[in-house]
Amino acid sequence: MASNKIQFRSIHELKDPALTGKLALKEFQEEIPVEDFLESAEKTDGTSRRDFLKLLGFSTAAVTLAACEAPVIKTIPYVVKPHEIIPGVPNFYASTYFDGFDFASVLVKTREGRPIKIDPNPAAGDLGKTNARAQASVLSLYDNDKVKQPKLDGKDETFDKVDDFVLKGLNEAQSAGKKIVLLSQSFASPTFKKLFAEFKAKYPTAELVTYDAFPHSAALDAAQEVFGQRALPVYDLKGSELVVAFQADFLGDYNAASLETSYAAARVPGPNMLRHIQVESNMSLTGANSDSRYRVKPSDVNKALIEVYNAIVTGSAPTTKVATEIVKELQAKGSKAVVLADGSKAAQVLAHLINQKLGSVAFTGKANFLKEFDKARYQEFLGWVNAGQVGVLITNNVDPIYSNNKGQDFKKSLAKVPYVIAVTDKKNEMYKAAKAVIPVANWLESWGDMEPQTGVYTLMQPTIQKIYKSRQIEESLLVWKNGKNNAANNYYDYLKANATSILGGTSFNKALYNGIVASANATTLSYAGGNGAQAVAELGNFKASDLELVLYTKTSIGDGTQANNPWLQELPDPITRMSWDNYLTISTKDAERLGIENSLNARMQLDGSLVNLTVNGVKIENVPVFIQPGQADGSVGLALGYGKKDSGTTADTGVNAYPLFDGSNLVISNVSIEKTGEEHEFAGVQLQNTLMGRYEIAKEVPLAEFINVPFDDEHKGWNKPLEYHTISGALPAGKIDLWDAFDDTDGPHFNLSVDLNSCTGCGACIIACQAENNVPVVGKEEIRMSRDMFWLRIDRYYSSEKKLTVYDGLKEGMAVPELYGSSILGIEGALENPAENPDVIFQPVMCQHCNHAPCETVCPVAATSHSKQGQNHMAYNRCIGTRYCANNCPYKVRRFNWFTYNLNDKFDFNMNNDLGRMVLNPDVVVRTRGVMEKCSLCIQETQATILTAKRENRKVTDAEFQNSCACAAACSTGAMQFGDMNDKESSVRKLYSSNRRYHLLEEIGTKPNVFYHAKVRNRVEK
């Protein structure tokens, strides 16, 4: 099925086919950093540790002794145990995750009063799906770099004194007729808005102004024009058969809501499978999942969108091949097609008008209320400040000095405001500019409500007492409205009273229990306008230049709200597989033209050129450059949200791209780059692990072949069952065994199904696994040394047609444009480099829990063993760190623990201080140095689920097992399904019978309990 395709993980592997072999040779050749972690003077009367280890015979056993040393930690028992807490039993609370950028209805898992894990709320449907940032938000609660108590003039102070200062300012401003401005992030809370209205009633000059770092301004402006309402449209792809996206990363942070759940549901292989066409410049997460991807520079994306609009709406014939093909498919699908666009207001207006003409069923008419920024209103606010009309400025968890392209001007103008109060969690620019500082409460410490979209109302509840002396903005408004020490200042009572009026017949406690209920808000959107001619003119006026920049947000860092979260900083980008960085992405041709290089050193570590980036006169220095397969020639990309100063030990990573962003347009021309002559050290994970062999590791098949060709056809079968050729003839792989099989039908036998067609590569599963299993953060240096500790990784493979020779092409009758490509006609040439526009496949890889595990047979102390339940166990206390198991594992899923990460100040992340360690799951041992660790299929959860059912004298349900595995529970697309193979009704058993199912490296006979489903591409292969 893939015999005419090649798979490669990087440009370097494409250029050097022997690279995999070199990596395999070097995989276990690192010098052991004994001196880094062994105490220098720990000797006995006779033999030193070093002598002992020499006699022991393997240097990797250097950490054996440490595994036998258990630290003594003093604990204090309950004097009076809270009745709702049973030690060892978790509690779950429904709540709402919202940090100004991301939203999700969630379940918060707590242990002994500590939130330790975030799970999706199944009652919330699509609104309960969690991305990587939502999963990681629990760690942000335990951030040791937070502002820990109120400040006044830079000194620690009490809330009482700070409130006196604020009240004095409010009264002075009111008396002088000056404005009192609350500058807040978008906050779709009806109770907050009611409270501010009452605050304004007391202080009539008060104004609420919304500011967002990543404001979705273009989308809101387009909605205002087309729908007559400043609310974002909600799309559902379940009934669609074609989606065409122009620069729209709709599986990422598009329009404040990812469409990945309905996208995956519509992508089930079959006759009506959703087809996905992407027209873009950067290789985005969405583009990587597309069936057909046209890589063109931003100015050409605009031209293609204009042609499609003119053809669909006005009836004119398109002139380019790209537009012609897209228009033909849109017209064929009609209402079952949808067009999404991003980058500017004009692009979104045209997309809305195309969908109106098509009558697209993907447009639900529901409104998303999560974003409220109004650029005109914000500019009016800046005018007030510059004119000296603002007496009091209260900023609620926003920092325009960092995240606005006019931030430095704003910083200077703050001198004209007598009272500046910053409600913030970090010592950022607003903290330094304010006279009074109030630490903002984390969402896990707060009460609140949200109205995220039409007909939905959610509640937020605290799951822990406030760790520091912090206060949410609503509590402050109550104090400033009612006066200090007023009995009405309890925000819980205020929220409950207002929520009761919204809930109607539903009790507050029931709504709080469920976390989400139906709302009476029936606001709908309908097409009411839209000036297509004006939008066409605006897009046409975009000035093309030699290099054009596309700004974007990463799946890990987003707008930068959680930039000080080390889980997110270390999470590899799904496309580049780099962590701890943002960088300028550039095409291979442009890199060669400009003399920019990415090189691998002798340790297979990636280094890249540093450049100074200038955009319309704004200069950013020392930006690293990454050569990205699939990047359009003439374009570069750069992620926002990085380079935050004074916001924590890990936030100051990368470069700040916000000075280039005007708040509306993500696409900018007039770009130039200048090499500095220096190099940057990248920390990447894609080349760290080598799998045995390379052919069809990640399988794929065209849809037509999937439907029309039997999978096991003798000649054309696209997923032929593996057979071994023996002396008795060909036999199925399952019938041949080196060992006697044992009975595994007694009790559960766990399998994990991974569907490559549904996996978008988002990384939520990685963070969920990290939170559940106490996986440490190791930092950029250790990642660069190939010592990541992830129990689950998502390998990204590029695939492309094999490069033709000129002779082969002419022999097949290809014309010159088909051979060499034509930018005018929009044709990719057959002779072009495979790295220029490859297909992408994401493949999650964890311990495969082999029934015939190669790791088990080589362990000298039986630290790793197999169970009847299908899980491969690790007894950490037995492990002596030989790493034989890692060497013998063909999947490279075992991790060696080099250091005591949780007690070592060298790794100043989340586990080396008492506060950060509060996030640790007590059900999973914290591993120390010198042991191997890996995925356990969350054995602590599966056993707890079994014991609960046993205690209740019932069978375990399939849904319970599905939620027992952290990665499967976190997956928004259902790509991962976990369950009991001995349950004939389980989802995983039904999936096992799929003709797309295959095992990774099945030919080596490990018999894994993890199986995969081949990816299906909905396109006609050339």
- Number of helical (H) and strand (E) elements in the chain, helices listed first: 35, 44
Tell me what the mean pLDDT of segment 591-616 comes to.
88
The secondary structure of residue 123, as a DSSP letter, is: G
pLDDT at 14: 58
Q: Is the pLDDT confidence value at 908 over 90?
A: no
What whole-number distance in Å separates Cα of residue 615 and Cα of residue 575? 25
Mean pLDDT of 115-129: 92
**Pick from 461, 741, 598, 854: which is nearest to 12 by CA?**
598
List CB contacts of 332: < 8 A, sequence separation 6 or more: none
**Mean pLDDT, the chain, as a whole number?**
86
Beta bridge partners of 977: 753
With 0-12 CB in 10 A as exposed, 13-18 as middle and 19+ as buried, what is 154? exposed
What's the rounded Cα separation, in Å, for the pair 358 and 335? 5
Q: Which residue has 């067609």 as its token pair?
A: 757
pLDDT by residue (tens digit) across 376-430? 999 999 999 999 999 999 999 999 999 999 999 999 999 999 999 999 999 999 9
- CA separation for the pair 516, 510 (Å, rounded): 9
β strands within 363-455, DSSP E: 363-368, 390-396, 419-424, 436-439, 448-450
902 compared with 454, residue with greater pLDDT? 454
**Is the pLDDT reported for residue 73 higher than 90?**
no
Q: Residue 737: what pLDDT?
A: 77
User: Residue 1010 corresponds to which tokens in the numbers above?
Assistant: 């993890």
| Selection from 686, 842, 846, 697 nearest residue 756 by Cα | 842
Whole-number pLDDT of residue 790 = 92
Say what the pLDDT of residue 16 is.
Answer: 61
More confident residue, 59 or 470: 470
**Pseudo-torsion of CA 359, 361, 365, 368, nearest 10°?**
-120
Residue 612 phi/psi, 5-degree rounding, is -100, 125
- Closest by Cα among 271, 357, 354 to 307: 354
CB-based burial label for 805 (10 Å; 0-12, 13-18, 19+): exposed
A 10 A CB-CB count for 242 gives 25
Q: What is the per-residue pLDDT for 79?
A: 65
| Count, residues in the chain | 1022
CB environment 68-84: b (16+ within 10 A), e (fewer): eeeeeeeeeeeeeeeee
Neighbours of 501 (CB within 10 A): 10
**What pLDDT shows up at residue 825?**
43
Dihedral (Cα; 497, 498, 502, 508), 10-degree rounding: -40
DSSP code, position 600: E
- Residue 874's pLDDT is what? 92
937 vs 750: CA distance, rounded Å? 9
pLDDT score of 824 more than 60: no
Q: Residue 762 to residues 259, 284, 518, 659, 699: CA-CA distances in angstroms? A: 12, 11, 29, 27, 19
Question: How far, in Å, are 458, 741, 969, 982, 1013 from residue 992 at the CA level?
Answer: 38, 20, 19, 12, 9
Predicted local confidence at residue 9, as pLDDT: 60
Q: What is the mean pLDDT of residues 835-843?
A: 85
pLDDT at 308 over 50: yes
> Pairing state of beta strands 635-639 and 548-552?
parallel
Rounded to the nearest 10°, the torsion over CA 413, 414, 418, 421 is 160
- Quick: pLDDT tens for 130-160: 999 999 999 999 998 899 999 999 899 999 9
Whether 436 shows a pLDDT value over 70: the answer reads yes
For residue 510, give the H/E element and its range.
Answer: helix 508-514
> What percent of the chain is predicted at pLDDT more than 90?
65
Check pLDDT > 50 for residue 58.
no
Q: What is the pLDDT of residue 686?
A: 72
CB-CB neighbours of 88 under 10 Å: 10
C-alpha 432/C-alpha 151 separation (Å) is 11
CA distance 378 to 599: 45
Structure tokens at 43: 């000797």
> Taking CA 153 as the corner, what is the angle to CA 149 and CA 154, rounded to the nearest 5 degrees?
55
Burial 737-761 (b: 16+ CB within 10 A, else e): eeeeeeebeeebbbbbbbbbbbbbb
Residues 447-466, mean pLDDT to the nearest whole number? 93
Instruction: State the pTM of this model.
Output: 0.88
> Residue 55 has what pLDDT?
40
How much is the pLDDT for 786? 86
Stretch (H or E) spanning 873 = strand 872-874
Yes or no: say if 27 and 690 are a contact pair by the CB < 8 Å rule.
Answer: yes
For residues 540-569, one letter each, b for 16 or more C-beta atoms within 10 angstroms of the residue's C-beta and e for the rest, the string is: eebeebebbbbbbbbbbbbbbbbbbbbbbb
User: What is the pLDDT confidence band of residue 688, given thresholds at 50, 70 and 90?
Assistant: low
Residue range 715-729: mean pLDDT, rounded: 82
Which of these ranges, 496-500, 577-581, 721-725, has the smallest mean pLDDT?
721-725
Phi-psi region of 741 (alpha: psi -120 to 50; beta: other; left: phi over 0): beta
pLDDT confidence of residue 194: 95
Maximum Cα interatomic distance, the chain, rounded to a whole number of Å: 99
Return the beta strands (E) in 248-348 as ranges.
275-280, 292-295, 337-341
Strands (E), 493-544: 516-518
Average of per-residue pLDDT across 695-700: 79
- Going from the C-alpha of 11 to that of each of 289, 690, 753, the distances in angstroms are 19, 16, 30
pLDDT beyond 50 at 822: no
Which of 945, 931, 929 is closest to 875 using CA atoms?
931
* Residues in CB range of 799: below 8 A, 6 or more apart: 2, 5, 6, 7, 8, 698, 700, 838, 839, 840, 841
Using DSSP, state whether 170 is helix, strand or coil: helix
Residue 6 pLDDT class (50, 70, 90 cuts): low
- Compute the chain's Rg from CA coordinates: 29
Strands 683-684 and 578-579: antiparallel
Backbone angles phi, psi at 529, to 5 degrees: 180, -150
CA quadruple 967, 970, 971, 977: dihedral sign:
positive
Q: Check residue 574 and give its pLDDT.
A: 93
Average pLDDT over residues 800-815: 51
- What pLDDT is attached to residue 39? 44
- Which range of 158-167, 907-916, 1000-1009 scores highest in mean pLDDT? It is 158-167
